[in-house]
Amino acid sequence: MADVHHLILQHGIDEARRQAVTRHERAVVEAAYQVLGDETEGIGFTYSGFALTSLPHKEQSETIWKREGHNLTLILQSGVDRQGQEVGLPYGSYARFILLFLQSEAVKTRSREIELGRSMQVWLGRMGLSIGGNSYRLVKEQAKRISLCRLTFFGGLGDQQLLRNGAFVEGAITMSGTPTQPFLWQDRVRLDEAFYQALRDHPVPVNEASLRAIGPRSMALDVYIWLAYRLHALKRDTEVSWPALHTQFGAGFKRQRAFKAQFLESLELAVAVYPGAKLDVHERGVTLCPSPAAITKA
């Protein structure tokens, strides 16, 4: 397809929809249209470490997760329940959106104590994530895994620990109710102090409309956050090789060819919700170019 933003602005959404042939192309058009039509530009935040590493996309049989980013390594460890059983690692889009809510509220309020009540439920709904039936159980499970896991970030090329054996929250994120009845989150939760300090010192602003337009596509969320962090800080064009991209984003893909196809779709969607993004895809990888910030109010 032609540049989707130019197509929509010059020829209208109906023509853009007409030219979209595949399901993926239609998703790109609708995502771009949502962001171009947004006038609120709500701001969310995440820790910069998650712009260079990421949670699993799918459920893992292993209890330790390691991801490499640009001079950064994330080690995520499953927690255990009262019986001493491993609860598993947080994964997928619901885990990402829960954490995005917690981080955004912490930065906005300048406090590691986050009020939940119905606010998280409303925010998740605004992001297009329904909570009921199977999704209720999924959200509850991801909240439990987030509450109990441990994480360490290593920076640079040695053993420098940026966040050592920390956690996301103190205590647990819980909610009451059943899949068929209204429920409430607990009144409040407190972010782990070390995690909050890292977030406060290194926040990455993101556009809530972009997150909403991407929806439950975890790799596209990761790619968008990566672009939001890297592009506006660049002083010159920077090439990122396919092997480096595979190391950062390609968990679960043994073959680079399969990863490349999935990554390119995620990249197209991320660029669709980041109109100012400038980059070039080629045989060696992706060249990132200095670009306007993903959100202008930050």
Q: pLDDT tens, 169-182?
A: 998 887 766 555 54
Contacts of 61 (CB under 8 A, 6+ apart): none
pLDDT tens-digit map of 108-155:
999 999 988 677 778 888 887 777 777 778 888 999 999 999 998 888
How far apart are alpha carbons 105 and 45 in whole angstroms? Answer: 8
Task: Look up tokens 């070039």; give the residue.
Answer: 280
**Cα 26 to Cα 16, 17, 33, 76, 161, distances in angstroms:** 9, 7, 11, 35, 43
How far apart are alpha carbons 48 and 96 in whole angstroms? Answer: 14
The predicted pLDDT at position 136 comes to 78
How far apart are alpha carbons 127 and 216 in whole angstroms? Answer: 9
> Mind giving me the DSSP string for 102-143?
HHHHHHHHT-SEEE-TTHHHHHHHHTT---STHHHHHHHHHH
Q: Structure tokens of 130?
A: 């329904």
Ranges in the chain, pLDDT < 50: 182
Q: Provide the whole-model pTM.
A: 0.91
